[in-house]
Amino acid sequence: MCLSLFWFASDGKWGIVLLDHFPAKIRVFDTTLRDGEQTPGVSLTPENKLRIAQRLDELGVDVIEAGFAAVSDGEMEAVKLIADAGLKAEICSASRGTHGDIDAVAKAGADSIHLIIPVSDLHIEVKLRKTREQVLQITRDMVKFAKSCGLIVELSAEDATRADISYLKRVFSTGIEAGADRVVACDTVGVLTPERSYKLFADLRTSLRVPVVSVHCHNDFGMAVANTVAALRGGANQFHATINGLGERAGNASLEEIVVSLIALHKQKLGIRTEKLYAISQFVSRLTGIYVQPNKAIVGENAFTHESGIHTQGMLAHPGTYEPIKPELVGGRRRLASGKHSGSAGIKAALAEMGLQPGEEQLKEVFQRVKAAGDKGKAVTDADLLAIAELVLGLSKEKPIQLQEVTVVSGNTVTSTASVRLKLNGKEVNGAAMGVGPVDAAINAVKRAIAEVEPIHLEQYSVKAITGGTDAMVEVTVRMRKGDRTATAMGVREDIVMASMDAVLGCMNVLTTDYNNKKG
């Protein structure tokens, strides 16, 4: 426990920095598979839930809320499957305060029950159409019934942060008397602030006699992570969170952000293997279909990417200048990108990787042209940078691989089929291939055409979300590998097949060009 810090401001106003009351052990309760799966549009099969549960177990969370057993047969099956999988984590299922819901949890074989009881007057009167006294009675009866089923009972107060605090405490005390093992105060619509969260949980922690007081935050105002950390500082000793902050509406508190904040900003020890965070974020994103925005903290694609000159110059001198933590801590990786805001140091480093050492004047010229491309609204990939450098350095403007012709046929009664004719170092090569769709067919045909000469591997193919109409611009980005060299390129067109061809051929051209073997 820390000492309090007194401070006095020069105008006579004063305050006391709130004490740190972090508990000795912070429990991590993951609800990706329950509250996270309630994200509109997300449905996971029991098998995919199990795959995510296994990853969460490896990550080291204390509790996995596997689902809401009473919701559907599949949910029941998912909880069963996960409860039987021999994981280290405790397996929990959510439930309303009804015999049927609690029965379902017991039948699913969960270790514990997350028993949700609404406590704000709005929820009690309008949603449940009951009275406060009736809800106290339900709490007592349902906790007893859940205990009689042999379950660990985590009693959760829904909409606790808009409830009368003295009533909230009565619900909890009633539940604890009836045998509840833990209590959870839910900020159901995300209206807490860090100072209110600290105060609420400090109060609950000291006024209730129960081994676990947990916080459960939603992110409607973008405060869920700060509110969760504030609750733990106040003395809560467990938090509910989801991978990628999935959940109803704006989602739940993001597990990865809380974990890394606790470790890096508050020097707390957790049993989480943080180096797995990036991979599990990607895995959950893929299985749920909910995209992680590039500027998402900790696990976004840009979280450790630097473009602006001031930043890349700093990064090349010392990574600490613009990175609060090492990307390896969360299994991420650092990237330096080229663009309008690049400085010459960053561009020089990128060119060196392609085997190009421009003179000072030439570098300046490349630098100007990269900026000019940016001013026209263009993102600058490796392929663009190479094209600019070649122009400036007076190197071969003839691309090793040139597209002569591509034709694709597809439909519901034909297998997508493509033919391509390419010039590879002046020599014509061609290939035809089928695919699962027109893009796949076209790229397969390119691969076949150049396979014998240039063994190049497509590592990543991605298309930015398309919105608007069927004639909207499509942005395709690819990363390809040849031996231990990788490169990126982009294609932007209204036609997804041609955008994909541009990106793939652009990347291949970077990788088949190696100035290390030609000129210094």
Least Cβ distance, residue 372 to its own copies (angstroms): 7
Q: Are strands 474-482 and 152-158 parallel, antiparallel or unpaired?
A: unpaired
Q: Contact between 112 and its own copies (CB under 8 A)?
A: no
Return the DSSP state at 515. Answer: G
- Residues 215-254 binding its own copies (CB under 8 A) are 219-223, 225-227, 229-230, 233, 244-251, 254
- Residues 466-505 binding its own copies (CB under 8 A) are 466-472, 474-475, 493-498, 500-501
- Please select the residue that binds its own copies; options are 149, 191, 279, 329, rule is CB under 8 A: 191
Q: From CA 235, how far away is CA 447, in angstroms rounded?
A: 59
- Please select the residue that binds its own copies; options are 2, 25, 45, 359, rule is CB under 8 A: 45
- DSSP assignments along 310-364, one per residue: HHHHHHHH-GGGT-SS-GGGGT---EE-BSTT--HHHHHHHHHHTT----HHHHH
Amino acid, res. 48: N
462: enclosing H helix or E strand? strand 457-463
Amino acid, res. 5: L
- Please select the residue that binds its own copies; options are 95, 139, 174, 416, rule is CB under 8 A: 416
- Please select the residue that binds its own copies; options are 153, 354, 386, 408, rule is CB under 8 A: 408
Least Cβ distance, residue 337 to its own copies (angstroms): 4
- Residues 53-72 binding its own copies (CB under 8 A) are 68, 71-72
Return the DSSP state at 242. Answer: B
Phi, psi of 80 (to 5 degrees): -55, -50
Pull the structure tokens for residue 447: 């691969």
| Under 8 Å between Cβ of 380 and 371 | no
The nearer residue to its own copies, 491 or 515, going by C-beta atoms, is: 491
The nearer residue to its own copies, 125 or 516, going by C-beta atoms, is: 125
Token pair 């009866």 is found at: 141
Using CA atoms of 253, 254, 256, 258 in order, give the dihedral in degrees to the nearest 10: -20
Least Cβ distance, residue 444 to its own copies (angstroms): 8
The nearer residue to its own copies, 135 or 515, going by C-beta atoms, is: 135
Q: Contact between 365 and its own copies (CB under 8 A)?
A: no
- Please select the residue that binds its own copies; options are 148, 407, 425, 516, rule is CB under 8 A: 407
Q: Is 113 helix (H, G, I), strand (E, B) or coil?
A: strand
Q: Contact between 283 and its own copies (CB under 8 A)?
A: no
Q: Is 46 helix (H, G, I), strand (E, B) or coil?
A: helix
Phi, psi of 214 (to 5 degrees): -115, 150
- Residues 9-28 binding its own copies (CB under 8 A) are 9-11, 13, 15-19, 21
The nearer residue to its own copies, 214 or 416, going by C-beta atoms, is: 416
Least Cβ distance, residue 402 to its own copies (angstroms): 11
Return the DSSP state at 181. Answer: S
- Residues 113-132 binding its own copies (CB under 8 A) are 116, 122-123, 126-127
Least Cβ distance, residue 454 to its own copies (angstroms): 18
The nearer residue to its own copies, 294 or 483, going by C-beta atoms, is: 294
Pull the structure tokens for residue 495: 């036609």
Q: Contact between 101 and its own copies (CB under 8 A)?
A: no
